[in-house]
Amino acid sequence: MSSPIAETIPPASMPGRDAMPNLSVDLAPGAKRELILRNPVMTASGTSSNGIEFARLFDINRLGGVLSKGVTLKPRRGNPTPRIVETPAGMLNSIGFQNIGVRRLLSDVATVWETWDVPVVVNMLGDTVDEFARLAQVLDGAPGVAGLEVNISCPNLDVGGVAFGRDPVAAGRVIEAVVTSTTLPVIAKLTPDVTDISVIARACEDAGADALCVANSFVGMSIDVNTRRPRTNRPVAGLTGPAIKPLALRLVWETARAVDIPVIGCGGIVDGRDAVEFLLAGATAVQVGTASFRDPFAVIRVLEEIFEYCRDNGVSDISELIGAVQVD
């Protein structure tokens, strides 16, 4: 299977050609190890498995970055079905972090990543601070792994199940533990389920995060009026897709104003103009997720449309767009 888009989109950087905008971005300036993307478009964790399926459809190396499916120390079976429900302009999911575990990820998947020219960032989660640190140690220096995205939206079993990302102290402890356990760039993936995301963002920055991903899914619910039961096996699930874009965009804008490290925008991006909105709000890069369930070439199309926007609007470097929204 092939796509005209995948075949025709020009690389993000083409030295020697006039009027070709520079789309490369640096997600970890000053970090122990660099994380430079050839363009600002990444997949979102959990929406493209580990990228291998996408690599069968188009040249995966055209992307700025690939995010792995969330991985834990040991394999997880995930939640019982049903665990995905379509909603107006989006979807609810309650997968439960089904994954093969970090050891098999490294033996079976990272060996493929190692052959790619696109950086792969591993999304990781633990139930305790110690689990996060141990994961970082296992992944540190692993071939094919370019960075870590730390999911702090999961429950903290040390303090009764409250999500790490809802508490600045807990969030900071996780990020500090990961940063001290790895030489890889560290991205904190923030939850939107907070009163003031800037407080959590600053805590992660102070703890040593190199970048922030804003944001994870919103908590939602759907009920079957005939059975009078929730449509997912667990009553609540994560809402993603176009419905959350205005909310995610606002969170990116607030976060970018609060910190001095790169912000990655994530939430409801369907096309290039959506992505440009996130860049204007202050994002350095974007992640495309739910759109890929409907169109597996969505991430490539977003990249092409960003390129076309820059070319058509005389943008010579993507940095000209980052944070350029005009607010009176």
* Residue 154 designated active-site: yes
Q: Please give the biggest Cα pair distance in the chain.
A: 63
H/E run at residue 36: strand 36-37
132 vs 91: CA distance, rounded Å: 28
Alpha helix (H) ranges present in the chain? 4-8, 52-55, 102-104, 110-113, 129-139, 168-179, 197-206, 245-258, 272-281, 291-294, 298-312
Are 93 and 244 a contacting pair, CB within 8 Å?
no
- For helices 197-206 and 245-258, angle between their N-to-C axes, nearest 10 degrees: 50
Q: Which amino acid is at 216?
A: N
133 vs 137: CA distance, rounded Å: 6
Active-site pick, 154, 213, 266, 310: 154
188 vs 174: CA distance, rounded Å: 9
Q: Is the dihedral of CA 285, 289, 291, 292 positive or negative?
A: positive
Would you name the residues annotated as active-site residues?
Answer: 154
